[in-house]
Structure formats: C-alpha cells, structure tokens
Chain A
Amino acid sequence: MTGLFSEVFLSALLFGAVTAAIPLLLAGLGEQMSEKAGVLNIGIEGMMLAGAYLGFVGAFYSGSLWLGFFTGAAGGIAVALVMALLCVRIGLNQIVIGIALTLGLEGLTALLHHFQFSRSYPRLPAVDVTVIPLLSDIPVIGPALFRQHLIVYLAIALVFAMGHIYRRTQLGLNLQAAGDKPAALDVAGIDVMRTRTIAVLTTGALAGLGGAFLANVGAGLFIPFITNGAGFLGIVLAMLARGRPVWVLFGALLFGVCLSLTTAMQVAGINIPTDIIQMLPFLAVMIMLVLFGRRASLPAALGIPYERGAR
C-alpha cells in the first residue's frame, strides 16, 4: 500500500485530475454562458465530439497542436450554428434539437473515424509542457499543476475572464437579461436573438476546444464516443455553479480527481473491480446533485424560445 501515498503517485493523480478537468471546465463554462442567456444547450456533447474529431484531424495532418485547437473550436462553432439557427432563430424545442445534434455527431464522427483511422489508429506525440519556474519545484503539487501545456493555464485564466464579463461588462448584463427577462432586453433596444446567438456560438467554441483538448492532450488520439459524457457533465456543472464561473472550476476539478482516481487506482493495482472504480465520477455527480441540486437557481426564461409580443 505504500505506492498509494507516495509522492509520485499523488503527483500523478493530481496531474491526471487537471488533465481530466480541463475539458469539463471548458464545457461547463460554455454551457454556463448558453444557460445564462436562456438556451439549454443539450447539444454540447455533440459540439465536443465535433471539436475532438476536427481538433485531432487538424493537429494530426498539420503537426501543430495549436492548429488542432483552432479546428476543434471551429468544429464546435459549426454545430453551434445549427443549434442557434434552429433553436434561437426558428424557436424549435431546445431539448429535442440538442439530443438530435448529440446523437447525429456521435454517429458522424464514429463513421468518419472508421473510414480514416480504424486501420492505422494514429497517435499524436506527447505534448510539450510549459514549466513555470520556482512553482514547479514545490513537492507533489509542483509537477502536477505547474508542468502543464500552456492551454491549461489559458483555460484557468478564462474562468476569471468569464467572471469579469458577467459582472463588469455590458455583454454580461445583456446575457443575464436574455435569460431572466428577454422582453426587458428587447424593449431596451437589444436584439434578444443576437445576444442568444452570440452565447450559443461561444458555447460551441469552448465545447469544441474542450473536445480537442480531450483528444489531443488527454488521449493523443481520436476514438468514437471519446467524450464519454463530458458534455453532459458540463451541463451538470453549469447547473450547480449558479452562474459563477469559479464554481465551474471547483466542480470540474472535483470530477477531475474522481476521473483521475479511476485511472490511478487501476494503475496502482488496488483490488477493487474496475467497474466499480469507473462508477466513481458518476456517483460524485449524483452526490453533488443530491447535496446542491435543489439550490441550483436557473434563469427564468431557460429553455423558452423568445417571441416578440408573446406574453
């Protein structure tokens, strides 16, 4: 049992937790923005898959991880465009369209993978890490937190950027009004459709980026269904975070630890059936929902398409 609490093990566990948390964080932040603006974005799982696939394709053929992140975000935006058109412009049911997009993208990316990569199973090389001087020398947490790819730091900086947008900018006000009382925003002279479209497209970009991170940094390859519910976990995070980006970060890290523990315990050879270990993250979701779910406060107009003049 000494292996379980060794410095190396804990450090690897934390490192894995951060790697697993970043896609959840990006998905959660993205979903939070859509929900703030009044759009329940169930299609986020599909957006992540599109991002994972296109992100991998971009990185694999160009050899540049950054180009991969870019194509991944573009993939997420492409799916979000469909969502914005159908659910915001035309006002179709957000849940139905969201599920349809997720299922559609699951099938499409699996099919494309089958034709392109199912014989070769290509992998990307391990990613370069940015080492932060001094901090990275701290025992245990140093190697785990401060020897990460640059995009990890950027994702965490995004948490605070989002907090700033929501609390201190005109866009933040508009987003909240679009979700809580769209008619008030409309008579204030701001286009509700446009505000919600901006939110959904941003969600697409963040979810796509999260997907690309999952494939390129987390796994180094693309396989069908690689997101494995990460988008749905993002929805849970957004609901529990009550509009605060920093709570999405905490939640993502907690789920990240659970996911990482799953791998770490298997590696450490602890004698528990793997099926039970793999249940951990989802058990954590249920416990969190039981503890905090009732206090989740959602925008008043969440899920309701806006129609001018309808009361």
Chain B
Amino acid sequence: MSIASSLSVDKRDIVALEGVTKRFPGVVANDGVDLAIRPGEVHVLLGENGAGKSTLIGMLSGLQQPDEGRILVDGEPTAITSPRHALALGIGTVFQHMMLVPTLTVAENLLLGGPWWQRPKTEELEARVAEITRTLGITVRLHAKVSELSLGEQQQVEILRAMVRNTRLLILDESTSMLTPKGIEELGALMRRLVGQGLAIVFITHKLKEAAAFGDRISVLKLGRKVGEIPPERFRALGEQAIISEIVELMFGKRKDDPEAAERPVRVIHAEAAPLLQVHDLAVAPTDEAPCLSSISFDIRPGEIFGIAGIDGNGQKQLAEALAGQRATMGGSVRLEGAPIEALSVGERRERGLRYLTDDRLGEGTVGTFPVSINFFLKQVGAAPFWRKGVEQRAEIDKRAAQIVREYDVRTPSLKTPVARLSGGNIQKVLLARELAEGAKVVIFNKPTYGLDLANTLASRQRIRDTAARGLAVLLISTDLEELLSMCDRIAVISNGSLVGTVENADDARTKVGRLMIGLAA
C-alpha cells in the first residue's frame, strides 16, 4: 500500500503502472517503472534498444507478468493474464513484427479470434469496417491476401483490427521502423484522428523527431528505468528544439549517482606514432538485417581506444566482421601496421595480431558444450604445443588453462565444465583470455559489456583499458554511450552504415555524440 499512497492515482487514467519491475535471467528489463496512460493522449515511450520498451508492452498486452509492482486498469489493480484478457480490457497492440497470417485475407485476419464453433460473421465485419475506415479516412482492401499488401497497409490492418475490437488503449510498438517517410507521416495523422476520437495511444519509438512531432506526453526509458517525463503542459510550452534538447539531456545525460562512473585517466597518445590499424573507404554489401557499409575510414594509433557509437543495427556487427575477415567486403583497404590485410583469411589476420571479441559469446565465440579448457584454445586447434600430430595434448592444455583461469579470474567449477554453464561474465573472461593471448596488436571489442552485471562490466572495462595501456590499438563498438565516454580517446558515430562524424572525447563530447546519434549535426 505504500506504493499507492506515494503516488496519486488519477481517475482519468485508463491504465497506470506502479513500480513495475520485470527481471529476466541476468537482466533487469524494467526497474520500478511508473506510467500513466490517459484517453485523448499520445504517450510516447522513448528509449534506445534494451531500454525495456518491449518488455513493458509485453506486460500490458498480457504476454508477460510483472515480478513486482502492479498495473491498474480504470483504477483497479488488474493482473493481465493473457492476450485474450488484454483484448477484453480494451488494450490492443500493434507489435513491431507484423502479427497477421500472410496466407489469409484481410477479412479473415480481422475475424480471427471469434468462438471456434461459429461461422465467421463476414457481413457484420464489413459493415463495421466501413464505418471505422470512413471516420478515419483510410481504405482497406478486405478481400486481398495479407501477403499481397505493403508493410504500411498491413499496419493499417492491424490498427483497424484493434479498432474493430473496441480498443480503448492502442499500443504501437516501433511502428515506424518499417515504414517509408510518407507512411510515417500518414501514421502520425492517423494517430491524431484516433486520439481525437478519445482513444489512448502508447507510441514506442527510438526516433526523437517522431516523439517530438507526434507525442502529447513523453516518457524516457533508459536501461529499464524511467529517467524522465515531459507532461503535455510542458510539451506545449516548449518549442520543438527545446523539447529535443531536453530529451537529449534525459537520454544521454549523466546520472549523479552512477556506479559505473569512472574517471578516464589521461593517456598520452603519441600523435606522431604510426597507426596500427588503418581503414580506408571500406564498403560491405547490405543484408536482410543490416544496411550496407560505405566509405568507412579511420585510423587507430598504438595505445588508443577508438569508439564506435550508434543505435544498434546500424552496421556495427558488419563492420567488426568485415575487419576480422568474417564478412566479404566490396572495396576499400584495411592495413595492419601498414601492411594490407584485406585479402587475408580470418586465421591469417589473427596470426598477424588482429583479434575480434564477438558480442555473440555463446553462439559464435565459444562452443557451449566443450569444456572451459578447450575453449581457451579453440582458435589454435591442431597447433603445437596443444596438439601434436593431430593428437590433443590434454596435460599441456590443462596446465596452460589452469594458468589462464587464475590470471583472468574465471570462476568455473573445474576446467572440464562445459563453458555454457558459466555466467555471461565468466564466458566473457574466457573470450578475453583467448583473444588477448600472445601476439595481439589490434583488438576489436563488440559490445563487450552487453548483458553483464555491474562487477563483470567494470572488470571487462578495466581489462580493455589495460589492453590499450600495453600499447595495443583498441576498437570499441558499443551502444552504451556512458561506456564509450568513460573509456575512449575518440568516438565515431555510425548511422545507417556510415560514420557520420568523429568526436574527440573532450568535455562537450556527450552532447556532440548524442546529437550525431539521433541524426542531428554535431
């Protein structure tokens, strides 16, 4: 009850969240989130990937249950137990991934969910749809197969489906991510008409301009916590530029009591030293999930930590893989200590001292069912002294593995434990030990602290700093701006496959990088 008394429950709220916390193994997805959702308002949930937006939606739509806190519907504490229950409460969700059956027609998709013994009430539906589409000013081809519709049309069908079911609260999860600019504009206009009819809308996005353009109220999420809210009164009082700068402050601003805060030691990098890694005009073809990389150029000098910032999915992984030799390039050059390496294989690049720590620790970095000891030497399988004439030298491997376990403080029950049984932090230590082993000159870290707890995060960061201090060149790819600011000498921002700017990590770097990340000039 202490929660309820400390908050004012507003009678106008359709749905209110009070101190909602949701944990997944190793991650706190939502941490004590409060949220008030009112009719006639577009409530924007703004946050980067991993900020906990999708989990929040999962709880509102009945897919997941909160671990702590409660959800009030019309002022009554309610456990939303299933998607059906959410629909009955008037909560309709348009998910980020389309939730229509491609082989059925639009009408059939809208009819899904009726009692199974009934005949689909097609005539009733047609009348209802005609009425709704007229007031909203959209057209929908009811008898077309969903697979024939464009993504924008499919989204309108999903919104229409929510309306057919008498939805009072419409949740739009990253709905603009797959739309054309024109489609986004139309969606914005549609949202205005819907809230005009008294609907409540929760609009989830990581794009700041959309938040400022379409929202009435903005809540900013960061690493599962709600870090700020701009109520409608303030929203109207501020101009668009003022709102944007306020949000930038909320999203990228520094918290005072940050346990991760660390003073960045001033390192002296000899500007005249020859760069260890030189990347010039690198290009990579686009894939289904990533844009093409084009004209990527940067140098990293010995002892330098060069950061790559950006929203996830803008080509970071492709860049790392192209440098490591795991992905074909379409042009450009990569030089290690001045020698071109772009024609070399993965193994040859490693041999020359280029090391890559993947973010996919279990899928790509280790073989989960193999013991810890073997995982230390995965990239040396067959090589002396651990293998001789094709025969595994168990004693030699165990001796060296035991040494590494002590050195890197890997917490494992034994050397024979399958590596998948270790915690994320300890798997990361195995990877660190393997990639930083003798001969490393340039190390690429891709999201090295993603999904780790605080202690392991700090340990990994220290390990990276030490690496640079030994005179190695470090490329640090991260979506965590704090991390980059606390460690890097220079930070480049990647957006849609290009480096849109490089910033010296000085006092104003936070704002500059933040602005570059959301598509504004530094």
Task: Say yes or no: is B375 at the interface (Cβ < 8 Å to chain A).
Answer: no
A177 to B109, CA, bound (A): 9
Task: Say yes or no: is A227 at the interface (Cβ < 8 Å to chain B).
Answer: no
Task: Say yes or no: is A171 at the interface (Cβ < 8 Å to chain B).
Answer: yes
A189 to B104, CA, bound (A): 17
Task: Say yes or no: is B63 at the interface (Cβ < 8 Å to chain A).
Answer: yes
A189 CB contacts on chain B under 8 angstroms: 82-84, 87-88, 113
Distance of A172 from chain B, by nearest CB (Å): 9
User: Is there an interface contact between A188 and B119, defined as CB atoms closer than 8 Å?
Assistant: no
Which segment, of A39-47, A78-86, A140-148, A178-186, faces chain B? A178-186
User: Is there an interface contact between B83 and A170, defined as CB atoms closer than 8 Å?
Assistant: no
* Residue total for A at the interface (Cβ-Cβ under 8 A): 25
A187 to B80, CA, bound (A): 13
Interface digits, B107-146 against A, CB 8 Å rule (1 contact, 0 not)?
0110111111111100000000000000000000000000
User: Is there an interface contact between A311 and B97, defined as CB atoms closer than 8 Å?
Assistant: yes
A188 CB contacts on chain B under 8 angstroms: 83, 87, 99, 112-113
A176 to B104, CA, bound (A): 8
User: Is there an interface contact between A309 and B64, defined as CB atoms closer than 8 Å?
Assistant: yes
Interface digits, B82-112 against A, CB 8 Å rule (1 contact, 0 not)?
1110011000010101011111100011011
Task: Say yes or no: is B294 at the interface (Cβ < 8 Å to chain A).
Answer: no
A73 to B118, CA, bound (A): 25
Q: Which of A257-311 contact B (CB under 8 A)?
A: 300, 308-309, 311
A176 CB contacts on chain B under 8 angstroms: 101, 103-104
Task: Say yes or no: is A173 at the interface (Cβ < 8 Å to chain B).
Answer: yes
A311 CB contacts on chain B under 8 angstroms: 97
A111 to B82, CA, bound (A): 46
Task: Say yes or no: is B61 at the interface (Cβ < 8 Å to chain A).
Answer: yes
A171 CB contacts on chain B under 8 angstroms: 116-117
A187 CB contacts on chain B under 8 angstroms: 61, 63, 83, 93, 95, 99
A170 to B88, CA, bound (A): 19
> Which of A169, A170, A176 gathers most chain B CB within 10 Å?
A170
User: Is there an interface contact between B101 and A177, defined as CB atoms closer than 8 Å?
Assistant: yes
Distance of A199 from chain B, by nearest CB (Å): 11
A152 to B58, CA, bound (A): 50
A188 to B157, CA, bound (A): 13
> Which of A177, A184, A186, A309 gathers most chain B CB within 10 Å?
A184
User: Is there an interface contact between A168 and B113, defined as CB atoms closer than 8 Å?
Assistant: no
Distance of B228 from chain A, by nearest CB (Å): 28
For B95, the closest partner residue in chain A by CB is A187
Contact partner of A170 (CB less than 8 A), chosen from B63, B93, B99, B118, is B118
Task: Say yes or no: is A197 at the interface (Cβ < 8 Å to chain B).
Answer: no
A173 CB contacts on chain B under 8 angstroms: 104, 108, 111-112, 120
Distance of B57 from chain A, by nearest CB (Å): 11
Q: Say what secondary structure dominates the interface of chain B.
A: loop
User: Is there an interface contact between A309 and B63, defined as CB atoms closer than 8 Å?
Assistant: yes
Interface digits, B48-92 against A, CB 8 Å rule (1 contact, 0 not)?
000000000010010110000000000000000011100110000
Distance of B107 from chain A, by nearest CB (Å): 10
A171 to B111, CA, bound (A): 11
User: Is there an interface contact between B99 and A183, defined as CB atoms closer than 8 Å?
Assistant: yes
For B120, the closest partner residue in chain A by CB is A170
Distance of B126 from chain A, by nearest CB (Å): 16
B88 CB contacts on chain A under 8 angstroms: 189
For B114, the closest partner residue in chain A by CB is A170
Distance of B141 from chain A, by nearest CB (Å): 18
Task: Say yes or no: is A71 at the interface (Cβ < 8 Å to chain B).
Answer: no
Task: Say yes or no: is A174 at the interface (Cβ < 8 Å to chain B).
Answer: yes
Q: Which of A135-167 contact B (CB under 8 A)?
A: none
A180 CB contacts on chain B under 8 angstroms: 101-104
A168 CB contacts on chain B under 8 angstroms: 119-120
Whether A190 touches B112, Cβ cut-off 8 Å, given contacts A180-B102, A180-B103, is yes
Q: Which of B137-167 contact A (CB under 8 A)?
A: none
Whether A185 touches B112, Cβ cut-off 8 Å, given contacts A169-B119, A170-B118, A308-B63, is yes
User: Is there an interface contact between A170 and B116, defined as CB atoms closer than 8 Å?
Assistant: yes
Whether A184 touches B99, Cβ cut-off 8 Å, given contacts A173-B108, A173-B111, A189-B83, is yes
Whether A169 touches B61, Cβ cut-off 8 Å, given contacts A177-B101, A184-B109, is no
B119 CB contacts on chain A under 8 angstroms: 168-170
A188 to B99, CA, bound (A): 9
B93 CB contacts on chain A under 8 angstroms: 187
A184 CB contacts on chain B under 8 angstroms: 99-101, 109, 112
A177 to B100, CA, bound (A): 9
User: Is there an interface contact between A309 and B58, defined as CB atoms closer than 8 Å?
Assistant: yes
Interface digits, A180-213 against B, CB 8 Å rule (1 contact, 0 not)?
1101111111110001001000000000000000
B120 CB contacts on chain A under 8 angstroms: 168-170, 173
User: Is there an interface contact between B116 and A174, defined as CB atoms closer than 8 Å?
Assistant: yes
Distance of A301 from chain B, by nearest CB (Å): 10
A190 to B118, CA, bound (A): 14
For A308, the closest partner residue in chain B by CB is B63
For A177, the closest partner residue in chain B by CB is B101
Distance of B102 from chain A, by nearest CB (Å): 7
Distance of B312 from chain A, by nearest CB (Å): 15
User: Is there an interface contact between A177 and B83, defined as CB atoms closer than 8 Å?
Assistant: no
A189 to B114, CA, bound (A): 9
A309 CB contacts on chain B under 8 angstroms: 58, 63-64
A170 to B120, CA, bound (A): 5
A170 to B116, CA, bound (A): 5
B109 CB contacts on chain A under 8 angstroms: 184
B115 CB contacts on chain A under 8 angstroms: 170
Distance of A138 from chain B, by nearest CB (Å): 37
A190 to B116, CA, bound (A): 9
Distance of A18 from chain B, by nearest CB (Å): 32
Whether A181 touches B58, Cβ cut-off 8 Å, given contacts A170-B111, A173-B120, is no
Distance of A241 from chain B, by nearest CB (Å): 15
A188 to B100, CA, bound (A): 9
B117 CB contacts on chain A under 8 angstroms: 170-171
User: Is there an interface contact between A186 and B83, defined as CB atoms closer than 8 Å?
Assistant: yes
A300 to B115, CA, bound (A): 24
For A183, the closest partner residue in chain B by CB is B99
A311 to B113, CA, bound (A): 21
A52 to B45, CA, bound (A): 60
B97 CB contacts on chain A under 8 angstroms: 183, 311
A309 to B95, CA, bound (A): 12
A208 to B117, CA, bound (A): 24
B64 CB contacts on chain A under 8 angstroms: 309
A181 to B115, CA, bound (A): 19
For B107, the closest partner residue in chain A by CB is A173
User: Is there an interface contact between B101 and A181, defined as CB atoms closer than 8 Å?
Assistant: yes
Residues of A in contact with B (beta carbons under 8 Å apart): 168-171, 173-174, 176-177, 180-181, 183-191, 195, 198, 300, 308-309, 311
6 cross-chain pairs, A with B, having the tightest CB-CB distances, nearest first? A189-B84, A188-B113, A188-B112, A184-B99, A171-B116, A181-B101
18 extra interface residue pairs, beta carbon distance < 8 Å, beyond A180-B104, A184-B109 = A169-B116, A169-B120, A173-B104, A173-B108, A173-B111, A173-B112, A176-B101, A176-B103, A177-B112, A181-B99, A187-B83, A188-B99, A188-B112, A189-B82, A189-B88, A190-B112, A198-B116, A309-B58
Instruction: Write 18 A-B pairs (CB below 8 A) sorted by A numbering.
Output: A168-B120, A170-B119, A170-B120, A171-B116, A173-B111, A173-B112, A173-B120, A176-B103, A181-B99, A183-B97, A184-B101, A184-B112, A188-B83, A189-B82, A189-B84, A190-B84, A190-B112, A190-B113
